Amino acid sequence: MAYEFVKVDRDGPITTVTLNRPEVMNALHSPSHFELEHVFNDFAADPDQWVAIITGAGERAFSAGNDLKAQAAGLRMANPGTGFAGITTRYDLTKPLIAAVNGVAMGGGFEIALACDLIIASENAVFALPEPRVGLAALAGGLHRLPRQIGLKRAMGMILTGRRVSAAEGKELGFVNEVVVPGELMAAANRWAKLICELSPMSIRASKQTVMNGLDEPSLQAALSGQNAYPAVAAMYRSADFKEGPIAFSEKRAPNWTGV
C-alpha cells in the first residue's frame, strides 16, 4: 500500500517506519494516525516481520507530536482505536518496537517513543511533555508511562514544568537506552534490532508480554502464577522454535528460528 504521510521499509525481519511530514517536524494529524494504524496492523500480522524501528524524516525532528496548526485550522483530530500514531493504546503487540529518535520528540512525539520498548537517541535529541504550555495534557500515555519508566518524582519534574530534556539526561533518567552521534542513529537502531533477531521471536514475544502484563499485577506472586496463561507464552510452548533451541544447542550450531 502507498502511504502519504509514512514510509515503510523492510530488511529481512526488520520493519522501519518513518514518520514522513518533515515540513511540520513530523507532527501528526488524523490522516497520519490512521495510516500508522494500518502500518502497524500489517506489521503485527506479518509472521516474517519480527522487530520494528520508528524514526522521523529529516534531521530536525522525530516528531513534534500533535499537529496544533491542523487542530487550530479546524481539522477533525480523531485517533484510531490503537491510539496516537497507531501504537499508544496497542496493548496486545508483543513484537518489539525501537524508537530511533532524531531531534525533537515533544508531546505526542515523546509519547510515541515511550510506547516503544527501546529508545535509541541521537545527541541532538530533545524530549519533553510541553502540553500544558498550550492548554493540553499528555493524555496519549505520557502521564502514565513516564512515571512507570523513571519513577514518580523524576517524571513529575518533567511533567509539571514541561521542561526539555537532552538525550544525555534521558539516558541518565533511564528512558533512553543509548545515545549516539546523529550520523550513526539508524545504524545503532538496526544493531539493536539485529541483536533481538538473533533470539527466538517466540521467546521475545513471550518475554515482552510477560513483562508488560506482570507490571499490572498487584504482587510478584500474582505475576508469577499467571504468566503461563499469557497467549504469547502458550504460543512459545507450542512453537517449532521451542523445539529448535535445545536441538541446536545440543548439536552446537546456530538455531534456525522460524517464529512459529
**Which residues are designated catalytic?**
111, 131
SS3 state at 83: coil
Distance of CA 174 to the CA centre of its chain: 15
Spatial separation of the C-alpha atoms in residues 18 and 117, rounded to whole Å:
17
Distance of CA 115 to the CA centre of its chain: 5
Helix, strand and coil in the chain, % to nearest 5: 45, 15, 35
Partnered with residue 2 across adjacent β-strands are none
The pairing of strands 126-128 and 178-180 is unpaired
Cell numbers 537532552 correspond to what residue? 166
Rg of the chain on CA atoms, in Å: 19
